[in-house]
Structure 1
Amino acid sequence: MTVENKPVKHEFASDNAKILHLMIHSLYSNKEIFLRELVSNAADAADKLRFKALSDNALYENDGDLRVRVSCDKENNTITISDNGIGMNHDEVIEHLGTIAKSGTAEFFSTLSGDQASDSQLIGQFGVGFYSSFIVADKVIVRTRKAGDDASEGVEWISAGEGEFTTAKIEKTNRGTDIILHLKEGESEFADDWRLKSIVTKYSDHISVSVEMLTTEIPAVEAVAEVKDDEGKVTTLAIDAIDAVPALWEAVNKATALWTREKADITDEEYKEFYKHVSHDFSDPLLWEHNKVEGKTEYTSLLYIPSKAPFDMYNREKQHGLKLFVQRVYIMDDAEQFMPTYLRFVKGSLDSNDLPLNVSREILQDNKITQAIRKGCTKRVLKMLEKLAKKDADKYQGFWDEFGQVLKEGPSEDHSNKEQVAGLLRFASTKEDVAAQNVSLATYIERMKEGQDKIYYVVADSFEAAKSSPHLEVFRKKGIEVLLMSDRIDEWLVSHLTAFDSKQLQSVTHGGLDLGDMDDDETKEAQEKLEKEYDSVVKRIKVCLEGKVKDVKLSQRLTDSPACIVADDNDMTSQMAKLMASVGQDVPDTLPIFEINGEHDLIKHIADEQDDDKFGQWVEVLFDQAMLAERGSLKDPASFVSRLNKLMLSLTK
């Protein structure tokens, strides 16, 4: 895109304009964060220049003292935040300042509730740092030039935050970015040096780049003069006024990388603010751990668990990872090589002494040092969560409610830590009356009945469907706990997590039911007697459902329902078939097993039906009912309704 000397008007995308409006009116209660966000962005720009200059020192343009400067003009009611970092060219200005978010805008809007308090938290998770300027400003001017470009390649961006902005080509002698905020009426409190300094000290003390502000303090110098009278007598006089001392820039933050400091010297508030710097999240983190590793591989990690999930957490393609430094030099954001995908919610920084300064994403991909650090960081996060679960079950439950479904991806992705991840999982259960997922596999094993050697579970489309599944009937009768799974990923989870603590996981909807030592001899004898009694009925049903089922059996799992369908041991379950189909995968055409309850009055009625046509209609209706209960839909619902109506009419004659 070419840059004209005269301003060119651009429109924000409609969704971006909506976000901008919503953000401005939702974050009014926390206005001062605008400065934190702008200083954070400016510091990032300085870090990026330092990295680029490793391979091209000319980018410093004879000015290697990287800094961020904050100043205000009370008379004109403006604030200026300047940096001498990497800067932007015109295309980058359009990309970064013309689009609030590069993807996921529609998903973001779908999460909004209309409640300002909760929506403002979502906005914080959406990552709109620069646009927080419009909380206090009714006009924002950005003047920038990319390091290495000619002075004539400067760009000016102007917007009033009302759906449009202009860009123009300008002359800019110094590299980097200047942001000038024209404060709204009533926001003049921020056009004050002391107010700005207090905000910088509060939020940006941890930033490794120097944040400077003007100082007008006058040195304590005694100013005097000698005066002679007409008689030549000398008198010494104090001078009431002296020439103004030129203002100086001084650092107002520690300007030391926080992770390099001793843990004992860092306050909780400093840790929290550093989290907000690296994550662009407005909320405090749930917990964090600062750790220095020495030995074969040396690195320092500062890892955070957020308190709230971002709106686009389930987008596995979204960039994630840690902010990577090598020997305190910034290398890249979102270094995903150091954290598995199922822990993509983890934020923080990583500083390695062993990686080369010119490291790239490609070099990181299969690097032995990277693998060692990834292994160490993964173990660290899992231990953090284990400690939280043991120390504060309620707090861990809050974490699980936010990130549980992502953690369920772990057993399939991280085989070496499968058992440890499994111990962190939580599920709903028939022992509970609510949908809350708060039962661990360890707790389930502790509550197993005598003689029980399996962990039983059922997967369904919803908690209600799982709780009312006919497959649970014999388990309720015998008081055996069953885990109720209804998350979309659950079927995928149990296909990879087949055992925990030497106990096999067993679906109650899969294959033949064997309760082992929990089945008494009397029950087994009654079942054998019933199977002989219904042998001819089962054969008649097989004929009616030929081509639709793999087999027909007398059920051991039903007590209240007349029939159900189950999957053969070697076949894909209906829930797995749905999951595969939802992601565009081919699903094999497998036939279910149809089970009937010989103790049910409806089955007894059908068994006595001599009319083959009516018998067939009853069987088809029962089969469709079982399919509907298991899969939630039918291929031909109209035929089911028609058969059911005929049977109901026949009962009235």
Structure 2
Amino acid sequence: MSMEQGNLSINSENIFPIIKKWLYSDHDIFFRELISNGCDAITKLKKLNIIGEFSIPEGEEFKINVLVNAEEKTLTFIDNGVGMTADEVKEYINQIAFSGAQDFLNKYKDKANEDQIIGHFGLGFYSAFMVAHKVTIDTLSWQEGAKPVHWVSEEGINFQMGEGDKAERGTKITLYLNEDSYEFSNEYRAKEVIEKYCSFMPVPIFFKNENATEEPEEETEVESEVMEDSIVDAEVTEDGKVAETKKEKKGPKPLNNPEPLWTKHPNECTEEDYKEFYRQVFHDYKEPLFWIHLNMDYPFNLKGILYFPKINTEYDSVEGKIKLYSNQVFIADNIKEVIPEFLMLLKGVIDCPDLPLNVSRSALQNDGFVKKISDYITKKVADKLSGMYKVERENYEKYWDDLSPFIKYGCLKDDKFREKMKDFIIFKNLEKKYVTLPEYLEAAKRLNGEENTEEVKAEVEETKSESAGEPKEEKKDTVYYVTDEQQQSQYIKMFKDAGIDAVFMTHNIDQPFITQLEQSDEKIRFQRIDADINATMTESSSEEENKELDKKKDSLTEAFKKALKKEMLEVKVMKLKDAKVSSMITLSEESRRMQDMMKMYNMYGMDPSAFGPTETLILNANNQLVQYVLDNNSAEHTDMICEQLYDLAFIAHKPLAPEAMTKFIERSNEILMLLTK
């Protein structure tokens, strides 16, 4: 075959700078592209064997070899696939962006299934020039009588092509690395990149360091049963076997797993298989809670495994990782077009050969098909969770603390997910039992109907007011909640004593979730247990007694404002059933939410006090300490008791500031000293 020279058929002189600088965001991705091409070449040969146009030699094993040579600064990729003829090299290599994979599919579209063909655009080979100043191809086609071809190009612009000397079918591509890309000829760096992109490619990938010496034979102990005429000097173990030392040569092992777990049917996978795969892929020492095995053939091909990790503490990162593959070729992590945003809290792998990838295989073309895939994944997750609630309620409750942030985030971010999950959201109540929102409200209504006479009276009064012409605001069902069990323990005790339930909402995501629940159902409202004093916690009072309480309020307000030096202090006086409770702090739900919003957005550095009184001091008229202040307005220690009652109430509401805590401790010591005199 005579030597032929020419120029590559490039439509624009700027095409190569574009390929090098823009087409691929990561230069190490050439490993994926070249190994993918090798996988395609082998897959094509297998399909030719299936349709009877080629017969695979008996005993031949398909594989891809990757060779690194740090001394020569070269990388070599070898496959034993279909190879190429000279005409095919001209067509597929010399014409940029002519896809050999697409051409093969068009030629055999009635005989071969395209699912396992990876390449589509014909640009993958040219990623080699991002790191190499020179690339050579040695190839021999599967076709009978084909001659080997040698091709070489400097910088990807000019080429030389002629007859080669390759004796075995397949293709060998050698990269002569640029000075700034020598790192890729390092064994450990090359293995790292192969693991990143090619861990699950469908063809075994073998690696060789050409600068390394041959690995020595390794001694391994092989146990065999003790029989007559056995080795006398061998050591006999307790179970009657002899430990015999033999030399076995260590065989090469592929770097990848060509049959990852997601390619198997769920019935073929054990629980340990799923856990081991999770550890292997995500290097997470904590076992996942459970998983969903996706296995769909119609209307699109999609397989994968989604794991629910433990994310129960606020200090854990709740950011997951969903690895996206196409025909077992890694595309990217957390591609938002395919993976709904809330599912990013999970960990998993999704393989969808039907994805409409762009030419670099790094991103997706945005079309309706991608949206359908995203909707399907959302549906499968919702089906799994709702099914667990219906069939495995005990497990569902056991996992709820971990699932709760994920499900609530999903409801906030995805309307379809919220619609499917709204009936399966549960809340832990004060008895540490799980209830749905309807169950909680039904129990509260039973309490109101049978025990809460004070609220029944209030409703009667409201009815009278409405009949007298006063407008009545539509009554809402109140859901009481706790955000900090330790900090709000006093309020919890009072709620339990009064027979009123509340639910725990302790995660950061609960506040926006509460708002969403209120917006989706205008008949309910959420109120933290320290927002007000429930009527069932107070004693009923006559009209005369109420007038007396008003007088006490004025006197106590004056005393506390003077002692605390807080002119904006709001004071309420009540007769609480629990006489041991002296004082409490309440903050209305609306004020607290406004404060939280201001903290979140740091509204112009404004002081919350600019909006008027924020907290209310509740004083129990049935408590002896409060009565002492009332009866001894000008006594020596009245100011000190007022300060102590306020701080005690504040501590039960939220932590004191450092300076206030110091004063509280000093004052407490002083009070104890007075008791010893």
- Normalised to the residue count of structure 1, the TM-score between the two structures is 0.54
1:531 aligned partner, one-letter code = L
Is 1:315 the counterpart of 2:317 in the alignment?
A: yes
- Equivalence for 1:305: 307
CA contact (8 A) 1:458 1:483 kept: yes
- Equivalence for 2:118: none
- Equivalence for 1:78: none
3-state SS of 1:610 partner: coil
- Equivalence for 1:478: 498
Q: 1:155 aligns with which of 174, 185, 210?
A: 185
- Equivalence for 2:375: 375
Is 1:457 the counterpart of 2:457 in the alignment?
A: no
Is 1:551 the counterpart of 2:575 in the alignment?
A: no
3-state SS of 2:526 partner: strand
CA contact (8 A) 1:83 1:176 kept: yes
Is 1:636 the counterpart of 2:660 in the alignment?
A: yes
The 3 A distance-change label for structure 1 pair 361 and 548 is farther
The 3 A distance-change label for structure 1 pair 623 and 531 is same
The 3 A distance-change label for structure 1 pair 566 and 312 is closer
Q: Which digits, 9 at most, give the CA deviation of each residue in 1:120-147, with x for residues without a partner? A: xxxxxxxxxxxxxxxxxxxxxxxxx998
- Equivalence for 1:289: 293
- Equivalence for 1:537: 555
Q: How far off its partner does 1:565 sit? A: 1.3
CA contact (8 A) 2:530 2:653 kept: no
Q: How far off its partner does 1:451 sit? A: 5.5
- Equivalence for 1:506: 527
2:440 aligned partner, one-letter code = Y
Q: Which digits, 9 at most, give the CA deviation of each residue in 1:150-199, with x for residues without a partner? A: 1795634579xxxxxxxxxxxxxxx97448999999983699xxxxxxxx
What is the CA–CA distance in structure 2 between the aligned matches of 1:265 and 1:483, rounded to whole Å?
42
| Deviates most, 338-347 or 497-506 | 497-506
- Equivalence for 1:619: 642
1:456 aligned partner, one-letter code = Y
3-state SS of 2:652 partner: helix
CA contact (8 A) 2:262 2:305 kept: no
- Equivalence for 1:607: 630
- Equivalence for 1:101: none
Once the two structures are superposed, the pairs formed by residues 155-304 of structure 1 within 5 Å of their partners are 155-157=185-187, 177-178=207-208, 188=220, 255=258, 259=262, 275=278, 278-281=281-284, 283=287, 286-292=290-296, 294=298, 298-304=300-306
2:359 aligned partner, one-letter code = N
1:637 aligned partner, one-letter code = M
What is the CA–CA distance in structure 1 between the aligned matches of 2:527 and 2:420, rounded to whole Å?
20
CA contact (8 A) 1:473 1:557 kept: no
What is the CA–CA distance in structure 2 between the aligned matches of 1:580 and 1:187, rounded to whole Å?
64
The 3 A distance-change label for structure 1 pair 251 and 313 is same
The 3 A distance-change label for structure 1 pair 188 and 281 is farther
The 3 A distance-change label for structure 1 pair 493 and 84 is farther
Q: How far off its partner does 1:404 sit? A: 3.9
What is the CA–CA distance in structure 2 between the aligned matches of 1:624 and 1:184, rounded to whole Å?
76
2:481 aligned partner, one-letter code = Y
3-state SS of 1:603 partner: helix
What is the CA–CA distance in structure 2 between the aligned matches of 1:289 and 1:178, rounded to whole Å?
35
1:450 aligned partner, one-letter code = R
2:608 aligned partner, one-letter code = D
1:458 aligned partner, one-letter code = V
What is the CA–CA distance in structure 1 between the aligned matches of 2:43 and 2:665, rounded to whole Å?
75
The 3 A distance-change label for structure 1 pair 454 and 265 is same
Is 1:596 the counterpart of 2:619 in the alignment?
A: yes
- Equivalence for 2:348: 347
2:486 aligned partner, one-letter code = E
- Equivalence for 1:400: 400
CA contact (8 A) 2:357 2:364 kept: no
Q: How far off its partner does 1:608 sit? A: 0.8
Q: Which digits, 9 at most, give the CA deviation of each residue in 1:585-620, with x for residues without a partner? A: 968534322111122221111111131764333222
Q: How far off its partner does 1:481 sit? A: 1.1
3-state SS of 2:346 partner: coil
2:307 aligned partner, one-letter code = I
Is 1:563 the counterpart of 2:600 in the alignment?
A: no
Q: How far off its partner does 1:373 sit? A: 3.0
3-state SS of 2:446 partner: coil
What is the CA–CA distance in structure 1 between the aligned matches of 2:185 and 2:256, rounded to whole Å?
29
Q: 1:447 aligns with which of 429, 443, 452?
A: 443
What is the CA–CA distance in structure 1 between the aligned matches of 2:567 and 2:597, rounded to whole Å?
17
3-state SS of 2:331 partner: strand
Q: How far off its partner does 1:478 sit? A: 2.5
CA contact (8 A) 2:583 2:619 kept: yes
Once the two structures are superposed, the pairs formed by residues 17-36 of structure 1 within 5 Å of their partners are none
The 3 A distance-change label for structure 1 pair 599 and 587 is farther
What is the CA–CA distance in structure 1 between the aligned matches of 2:565 and 2:518, rounded to whole Å?
33
Give the superposed CA RMSD. 5.4
- Equivalence for 2:429: 429
What is the CA–CA distance in structure 2 between the aligned matches of 1:183 and 1:404, rounded to whole Å?
52
What is the CA–CA distance in structure 2 between the aligned matches of 1:418 and 1:552, rounded to whole Å?
42
Q: Which digits, 9 at most, give the CA deviation of each residue in 1:473-497, with x for residues without a partner? A: 5422331112244445545554554
3-state SS of 1:618 partner: helix
What is the CA–CA distance in structure 1 between the aligned matches of 2:425 and 2:544, rounded to whole Å?
39
What is the CA–CA distance in structure 1 between the aligned matches of 2:419 and 2:632, rounded to whole Å?
53
What is the CA–CA distance in structure 2 between the aligned matches of 1:284 and 1:646, rounded to whole Å?
54
What is the CA–CA distance in structure 1 between the aligned matches of 2:368 and 2:408, rounded to whole Å?
27
3-state SS of 1:335 partner: coil
What is the CA–CA distance in structure 2 between the aligned matches of 1:475 and 1:291, rounded to whole Å?
49
What is the CA–CA distance in structure 1 between the aligned matches of 2:217 and 2:543, rounded to whole Å?
87
CA contact (8 A) 1:397 1:438 kept: yes
CA contact (8 A) 1:309 1:345 kept: no
What is the CA–CA distance in structure 2 between the aligned matches of 1:312 and 1:509, rounded to whole Å?
23
Q: How far off its partner does 1:645 sit? A: 4.4
CA contact (8 A) 1:66 1:85 kept: no
What is the CA–CA distance in structure 1 between the aligned matches of 2:551 and 2:324, rounded to whole Å?
71
CA contact (8 A) 1:305 1:347 kept: yes
1:639 aligned partner, one-letter code = K
3-state SS of 2:497 partner: helix
Q: How far off its partner does 1:571 sit? A: 1.7
What is the CA–CA distance in structure 1 between the aligned matches of 2:446 and 2:656, rounded to whole Å?
38
CA contact (8 A) 1:565 1:594 kept: yes
Percent identical pairs in the alignment equals: 18
Question: Where does the alignment leave 5 or more consecutive residues of structure 2 unmatched?
Answer: 1-27, 45-62, 72-130, 133-172, 190-204, 224-250, 449-476
What is the CA–CA distance in structure 1 between the aligned matches of 2:176 and 2:377, rounded to whole Å?
43
3-state SS of 2:641 partner: helix
The 3 A distance-change label for structure 1 pair 496 and 572 is farther
The 3 A distance-change label for structure 1 pair 321 and 190 is farther
- Tell me how many residue pairs correspond in the alignment: 448
What is the CA–CA distance in structure 2 between the aligned matches of 1:87 and 1:524, rounded to whole Å?
93
Question: Where does the alignment leave 5 or more consecutive residues of structure 1 unmatched?
Answer: 1-46, 68-81, 91-144, 160-174, 192-247
Q: Which digits, 9 at most, give the CA deviation of each residue in 1:478-527, with x for residues without a partner? A: 311122444455455545544787543221222x4465xx7999468698
CA contact (8 A) 1:449 1:480 kept: no
